[in-house]
Amino acid sequence: MKILVLNGPNLNLLGKREPGIYGSQTLGDMMKGLQDHGRTKGVVVDWHQTNEEGCLVSRIGESQGVYDGLILNPAAYTHTSLAIRDALQAVTVPCVEVHLSNIQAREGFRHTSLTAAACLGQIAGFGARSYLLALDALLGHLKLSVK
């Protein structure tokens, strides 16, 4: 089983960017931990980070037939991107949306996710652990879908 993790804008700055909100781990550290977690479950986890919306849209479209599931942290595009939402709706690859911080506890403009409705669910507010929880939830869904 193969899972693709897509990370949006500014997540390459984790570890330096607002550690009080996002923690002190780098994205690379988080993704290594997620890959290790996936390996214990017999799953290959690939990941990609980009600051470009079009690249996220392309990667979602290219996931069809290659990946069994997606984990998406659209970052700021969560609140603005109809293109990412449309891409998620265009593929049959199930997706879980992830956020390190609790977006409902932050500024009002962060309370609305344009992308979450095109996903199985959303996990937010557990820092780096949000990715691990998302992988477990996605695998649980995929195993139920196979039966």
Residue 69's domain is classified under what CATH number? 3.40.50.9100
User: Of 67, 77, 99, 131, which residue is the catalytic one?
Assistant: 99
Domain membership of residue 33 as a residue range: 2-146
Specify the pLDDT at position 112: 73
Structural domain tally of the chain? 1
pLDDT tens per residue across span 114-139: 898 899 999 999 989 999 999 999 99
Residue 22 appears among annotated catalytic residues: yes
88/60 Cα distance (integer angstroms): 7
Helices within 41-146 (DSSP H only): 53-62, 82-90, 129-146
User: Of 22, 67, 77, 131, which residue is the catalytic one?
Assistant: 22
Q: What's the predicted TM-score (pTM) here?
A: 0.89
Specify the pLDDT at position 144: 73
Specify the pLDDT at position 20: 67
Q: Any residues with CB less than 8 A from the CB of 77 and at least 6 apart, and which?
A: 8, 9, 53, 56, 84, 115
Residue 141 appears among annotated catalytic residues: no
As a whole number, the mean pLDDT across the chain is 90
Specify the pLDDT at position 96: 98
Position 105 confidence tier, pLDDT thresholds 50, 70, 90: very low
99/29 Cα distance (integer angstroms): 16
